[in-house]
Structure 1
């Protein structure tokens, strides 16, 4: 659960995927079952006939990152056939949520040790040479090395499986996933990271083209193309994933990764409305804690509303989060999103509407971290420190840069990371130039870092180029402001705040036609906007000034 769930009833299904036999191997028991909402899986294996349905269900769920339910499926397969090594290796992979910043190697190793105490003994239990090749790759992922070397070993192992079994779609799908792991946490140099991303796209596209209802191919293609320059290659996958695996809540949310990168706000909203509703239905049906709700989908839903100018709905989600979390225990280390979501939503509302008089001044805070912190926890905590510091400044509680520096240091417990402090202070100085008039703007521009990577989803901070554009416009330098806003839109296409700034900057620079074009793009975003959005009359008039 947490950032995804699957719809009620999926675990009761005998099998939620279609399996089509691969070329036969020794002791392989291929089996076919009708799919009921998790996609189509092709994976011949040596497990007993009674292990087929739960194993295939677990595999389909794993490809859609429904990790807890996938682990249950694999454990059911183990119970049906205690010698079925692939079921143990499958369960081990369910504890590696590396694209979410989570990795429970201890749980994975406990699962593996139930099969046999050593790597060699486990590999000896493989039913076929193909299964042994899979096992070798999974064993590398959960070996004794550090995380970067483990994921690189997993990627190399999966490449070998794909090379040996080129007609195996799961081999290609897991190779794509392993390459994404390497690109994210493999500590690769920039060129190698780009190459890993490109290779991940190639493997995922191969699966999606040849097996268009395979959940792994479509899912990993979306992940691999999750930035503006590549998102068009993932658009067909985004359009189809929810229909391929409608019983996986993550499959309902995941298309919005592409929709956000392309500025398709109506699609992004629809995707996350479905995902949030599915999450609430699942929690209610299974009588789970509200800490298990998909607050990830809720954050993305609010961001879509904000880009549409539906500010009332966006603000209402802050109350929704507060209500569903009232009295809920969020101390479990796995409940990262729920722990930070009220503050995140409050800051996002202020940052995207410019309204710093509302919830952000009372609800943005830094929660106490649990005893052990995942990479995901550390990322959310860093964002929360930044958000709380900027909110304190905008709400009038920290009036100087030095007081802000002290605030960040205090929130971080005295151990503040240099990039976090640098970004917070840089944005604070840009905000001061906007609010109080330009001062040392050229010196500030000289300190700006190179353009960063596009955010994956809703930005957790203010956008540097948007702040710079506003400061330049305030300083009477509209042409430079135009350039800043255009850079912003390269990283976050069709983002409403950047389009509004670009419209104003082009008009101030004497580019009436360019201003009309930007206003028209923004008006398209705002075709469902609340009638009281402050800039809406300006945008309508600007779009009409042809």
Structure 2
């Protein structure tokens, strides 16, 4: 789970007071008032509400933090608002939303229900605590998200509630923002529905970003919605703006790199994640929490950026960083997920990008020690990727028996991962036909899905291209590498291998053009990497 630094709200945060007993009746608008968090920079939010004056600052701070997925600090702020006004229903509903980390594969619905129970024992009792029609609509939507039904149904109910809210209050940017990100939480029933939900989310987030350029949710959610090669250009302006809107949110420093990866802007990927990693280190230190709470997600993206820049030494050094900061962790009792798999993830990413498998010490790594109490979608995902990685490393190192044993543990739905390992095993036994057929099938499936961030598996089009080139089928290899570059623009390894394939078919002009693109990526590359380009240019 990503943890984020204690943030700030230096920008203006407007609020108004609604009609509630013992609360001022006038509608008042204020800049974010001086206080414990004066000088913080989290963006601008506006939420007229019925809370007491003393609850305004923490409530609005919590809302701004929530929009930047700073869940822990947002929860603290909402609880502060509750202490200032124990009957302020929106502060409890705000806290509940901090447990819905669905885009990260984390759903703490039971914890949210515990928080809601402090407001009232039942949904109806809690809704009765809201003193305005608008706040009741917010409450109804949020209550649906923590109903006792399955997650898919809960999200659908939440969407329905937010649609009703935005229809009744079309100028409410906060409602619009929650709807924009909720659309991305929904589990679509078809590719057509997925496209519709994505495009609706983009339109909503863009409308917020246009109407209120300093709103953290507008920029943040536009980046999330556009985090796909098909839409990435529509999120580029938000990516350029978001870190300036909320520079004290670690996630706001990292998140722009999602778009930068999609467009292959590697220098921007690196600068975003260098800042975000430093912010994560500062957050862990200031909150006195274990290093397992560091944002290894951010550091992994930084490693990928270094690799695309040809800075293999810097990328390899991050493996040592991970090992150092996690030294001594008792994984059998730790509830960390990202940190648990980081040592293997960083080695695998480095190996597939550099071709240097020595980081595994000549043997397949042992299975990661798991804590059986840590469950859920995110934990399952990491476990599957770890098994795939072990199988891949085993195949590369020649331990085909172990590779076969591990790959059989992968779920049947892991078609791409299983296909890649099947291809490597076919190659090992000299079965060229099944080697290529398996990789073709994996690559074909891979071309139908969206690509987000650094690769968790060896990019299938590249793996296919490598196989074809090894078999002397350079023309087919060129097509495979070009397809990889369509899916992941400006990827350095794909450019490097494409140039090799182009030279193999006699396309010197094409190879020269491709190498020029790689040379631009590698302007800051290690001397050894630059030397390989120089030698190719002379060949």
TM-score, length basis structure 2: 0.92
SS of 1:177's partner is: helix
- Paired residue for 2:510, among 499, 509, 514? 514
Partner of 2:381: 379
**1:513-532 map, 5 Å:** 513-532=509-528
CA separation of 1:166/1:60 partners in 2, compared to 1, >3 Å: closer, same or farther? same
Partner of 2:414: 420
Q: Distance in 2 between matches of 1:36 and 1:63?
A: 15
Q: Is the 8 A contact 2:423 2:439 kept in 1?
A: no
Per-residue CA deviation, residues 157-187 of structure 1 (Å, 9 max, x unaligned), is 11221121111111111010110111xxx24
Partner of 1:41: 45
**1:394-405 map, 5 Å:** 394-396=396-398, 398-399=399-400, 403-405=402-404
CA separation of 1:161/1:422 partners in 2, compared to 1, >3 Å: closer, same or farther? closer
Matched, 1:78 2:82: yes
SS of 2:528's partner is: coil
| 1:541 Cα offset (Å) | 4.8
Q: Is the 8 A contact 2:223 2:255 kept in 1?
A: yes
Partner of 2:391: 389
- Paired residue for 1:429, among 414, 423, 429? 423
Q: Distance in 2 between matches of 1:179 and 1:148?
A: 12
Per-residue CA deviation, residues 472-493 of structure 1 (Å, 9 max, x unaligned), is 1122222211111111111111
Matched, 1:136 2:132: no
Q: Distance in 1 between matches of 2:471 and 2:457?
A: 23
Q: Distance in 1 between matches of 2:394 and 2:338?
A: 22
Matched, 1:147 2:145: no
CA separation of 1:170/1:419 partners in 2, compared to 1, >3 Å: closer, same or farther? same
- Paired residue for 2:460, among 434, 459, 464? 464
Matched, 1:120 2:147: no
More displaced 10-residue stretch of structure 1: 513-522 or 95-104: 513-522
Partner of 2:36: none
Pairwise CA RMSD = 2.3
Q: Is the 8 A contact 2:58 2:80 kept in 1?
A: yes
| 1:505 Cα offset (Å) | 1.4
| 1:275 Cα offset (Å) | 0.7
**1:183-194 map, 5 Å:** 186-194=187-195
- Paired residue for 1:157, among 143, 161, 171? 161
Q: Distance in 2 between matches of 1:332 and 1:166?
A: 48
Partner of 2:232: 231
Partner of 1:537: 531
CA separation of 1:435/1:236 partners in 2, compared to 1, >3 Å: closer, same or farther? farther
**1:50-61 map, 5 Å:** 50-61=54-65
Q: Is the 8 A contact 1:520 1:543 kept in 2?
A: no
Q: Is the 8 A contact 1:309 1:526 kept in 2?
A: yes
| 1:16 Cα offset (Å) | 5.2
Q: Distance in 2 between matches of 1:327 and 1:318?
A: 16
Partner of 1:301: 302
More displaced 10-residue stretch of structure 1: 350-359 or 196-205: 350-359
Partner of 2:273: 272
Q: Distance in 1 between matches of 2:152 and 2:195?
A: 16
Q: Is the 8 A contact 1:499 1:518 kept in 2?
A: yes
Q: Distance in 1 between matches of 2:349 and 2:57?
A: 44
| 1:362 Cα offset (Å) | 5.5
**1:12-51 map, 5 Å:** 18-21=12-15, 27=25, 30-33=29-32, 36-51=40-55
Per-residue CA deviation, residues 219-274 of structure 1 (Å, 9 max, x unaligned), is 10110000111111111111111111111111111111111111111100111101
- Paired residue for 1:87, among 87, 91, 98? 91
More displaced 10-residue stretch of structure 1: 269-278 or 446-455: 446-455
| 1:544 Cα offset (Å) | 7.3
Q: Distance in 1 between matches of 2:497 and 2:78?
A: 52
Matched, 1:199 2:200: yes
Per-residue CA deviation, residues 280-334 of structure 1 (Å, 9 max, x unaligned), is 1222223221111111111111111111111111110000000011113445665
Per-residue CA deviation, residues 437-463 of structure 1 (Å, 9 max, x unaligned), is 945455446644432423311111111
Matched, 1:257 2:258: yes
Per-residue CA deviation, residues 64-113 of structure 1 (Å, 9 max, x unaligned), is 00101101111111111111100000000000100000001110001111
CA separation of 1:277/1:360 partners in 2, compared to 1, >3 Å: closer, same or farther? farther
CA separation of 1:57/1:23 partners in 2, compared to 1, >3 Å: closer, same or farther? closer
CA separation of 1:45/1:438 partners in 2, compared to 1, >3 Å: closer, same or farther? same
**1:320-469 map, 5 Å:** 320-331=321-332, 334-359=335-360, 361=362, 364-370=365-371, 371-396=373-398, 398-399=399-400, 403-409=402-408, 412=409, 416-420=410-414, 423-430=417-424, 433=427, 438-440=432-434, 443-444=437-438, 447-448=441-442, 449-450=444-445, 451-469=447-465
Matched, 1:285 2:286: yes
Matched, 1:67 2:71: yes
Q: Is the 8 A contact 1:312 1:530 kept in 2?
A: yes
Q: Distance in 2 between matches of 1:44 and 1:61?
A: 17
CA separation of 1:47/1:158 partners in 2, compared to 1, >3 Å: closer, same or farther? same
Partner of 1:497: 493
Q: Is the 8 A contact 2:205 2:222 kept in 1?
A: yes
Q: Distance in 2 between matches of 1:240 and 1:524?
A: 25
CA separation of 1:506/1:114 partners in 2, compared to 1, >3 Å: closer, same or farther? same
Q: Is the 8 A contact 1:499 1:522 kept in 2?
A: yes
Per-residue CA deviation, residues 347-388 of structure 1 (Å, 9 max, x unaligned), is 111111011122364584432322231211111111101111
Q: Distance in 2 between matches of 1:20 and 1:338?
A: 38
SS of 2:131's partner is: coil
TM-score, length basis structure 1: 0.91
Gaps of 5+ in 2: 34-38
Partner of 2:105: 101
Gaps of 5+ in 1: none
